[in-house]
């Protein structure tokens, strides 16, 4: 796989148990706090977000930034959706990316090396960079979202509360369900190494979608009648489902449009103010039909299912 080992970029790194342990220890897990007690104070103009429109995990942080009104407080650089080149995520001044507006790097591995010259692990988006300390604060999308939603309330739109106190237990329950079974489920199916692993993963994914279809039959949003963080964690997977995961990752038992409640919910979120502008399906398609060596093309996809019905009449034929 493409990864860094002791600060050196490799296109064919071998994920040994020792490598995985080192990669987990090397993850950036700093925390921004409103009062600055964590060492990273919530200040306008201090932080920079590196994202790809193709990546659903980066997308959720972009959604939070937009809905919380933090565009003027947190700047942005966009990486090219084509990931198959030797450098992985890259910057450019073409139509699908931007330059690195803060560090002037050509690739995302260079940004990671600036933060930790001996970094070992995968180089992923999103990345939240601190201009003041010259380092990566955090590269875990769920943690970045939560910090934006809770620690930047006084800077953005304080009337928008994505993690309200009264709904936190329900939001946490939903995140614990959606994260592994749907956000991660599409990848467990798509990157399965064996037919048996694929079959189990894809059936679990669609069982989870069935559960949410039932839940959304009686409510507007996942946690009830208001938009929350839980919706922003689910939406990026749903909006990519039919255009990417159905085909490229073989999640093709059913299309999302065949789920009436989930499809209505996806369209409802898409048309909320500010959300459509964060969706770039041209980036998504380019990325997922890129050269992903991790996909075992010998695995037979589960669908699509066909209902051939009865033989048509001569006139209908």
Q: Which pLDDT score, from 0 to 100, does residue 308 have?
A: 46
**pLDDT value at 316 more than 60:** no
Cis preceding-peptide flag for 309 (omega within 30 of 0): no
Mean pLDDT of 141-165: 96
- Please count the CA atoms within 13 angstroms of the CA of 51 that sit on its side-chain side: 26
Q: Per residue in 204-217, is it b (16+ CB within 10 Å) or e — as a string?
A: bbbebbeebbebbe
Residue 184: band (very low, low, confident or very high) from pLDDT cuts 50, 70, 90: very high
Dihedral angle, C-alpha 60, 66, 262, 242, nearest 10 °: -60
Residue 298 to residue 164: CA distance in whole angstroms: 46
Backbone angles phi, psi at 182, to 5 degrees: -115, -60
Mean pLDDT of 1-5: 88
Cα–Cα nearest to 233, from 108, 149, 135, 109 = 149
- Termini Cα distance of the chain: 50
Domain definitions of the chain by residue range: 3-151, 165-275
Q: Which pLDDT score, from 0 to 100, does residue 21 have?
A: 73
Domain 165-275 classification at class level = mainly alpha
The CATH classification of domain 3-151, taken from the options 3.50.50.60, 3.40.30.10, 3.40.120.10, 2.60.40.2230: 3.40.30.10
Active site residues: 55, 187
> For the segment 47-98, what is each residue's pLDDT rounded down to a tens digit?
999 999 999 999 999 999 999 999 999 999 999 999 989 999 999 998 999 9
Share of the chain above pLDDT 70, in %: 90
């Amino acid at each position: 796989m493409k990864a860094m080992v002791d600060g050196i970029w490799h296109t064919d790194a071998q994920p040994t148990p020792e490598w995985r342990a080192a990669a987990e220890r090397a993850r950036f897990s700093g925390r921004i706090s409103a009062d600055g007690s964590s060492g990273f104070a919530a200040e306008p103009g201090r932080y920079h977000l590196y994202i790809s429109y193709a990546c659903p995990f980066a997308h959720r942080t972009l959604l939070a930034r937009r809905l919380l009104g933090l565009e003027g407080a947190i700047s942005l650089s966009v990486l090219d959706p084509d990931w198959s080149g030797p450098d992985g995520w890259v910057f450019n001044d073409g139509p699908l990316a931007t330059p690195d507006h803060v560090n002037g790097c050509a690739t995302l591995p260079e940004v990671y090396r600036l933060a930790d010259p001996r970094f070992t692990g995968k180089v992923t988006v999103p990345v939240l960079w601190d201009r003041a300390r010259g380092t990566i604060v955090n590269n875990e999308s769920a943690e970045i979202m939560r910090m934006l939603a809770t620690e930047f309330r006084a800077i953005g739109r304080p009337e928008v509360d994505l993690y309200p106190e009264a709904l936190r237990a329900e939001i946490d329950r939903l995140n614990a369900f959606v994260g592994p079974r749907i956000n991660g489920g599409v990848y467990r199916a798509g990157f399965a190494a064996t037919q048996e692993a694929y079959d189990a993963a894809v059936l679990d994914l669609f069982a989870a979608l069935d559960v949410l279809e039932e839940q959304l039959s009686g409510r507007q949003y996942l946690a009830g009648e208001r938009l929350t963080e839980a919706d922003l964690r689910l939406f990026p997977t749903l909006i990519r489902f039919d255009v990417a995961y159905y085909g490229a990752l073989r999640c093709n038992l059913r299309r999302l449009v065949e789920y009436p409640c989930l499809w209505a919910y996806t369209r409802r979120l898409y048309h909320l103010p500010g959300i459509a502008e964060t969706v770039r399906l041209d980036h998504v398609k380019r990325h997922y039909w890129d050269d992903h060596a991790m996909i075992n093309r010998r695995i037979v996809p589960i669908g699509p299912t066909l209902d051939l019905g009865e033989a048509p009449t001569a006139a209908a034929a």
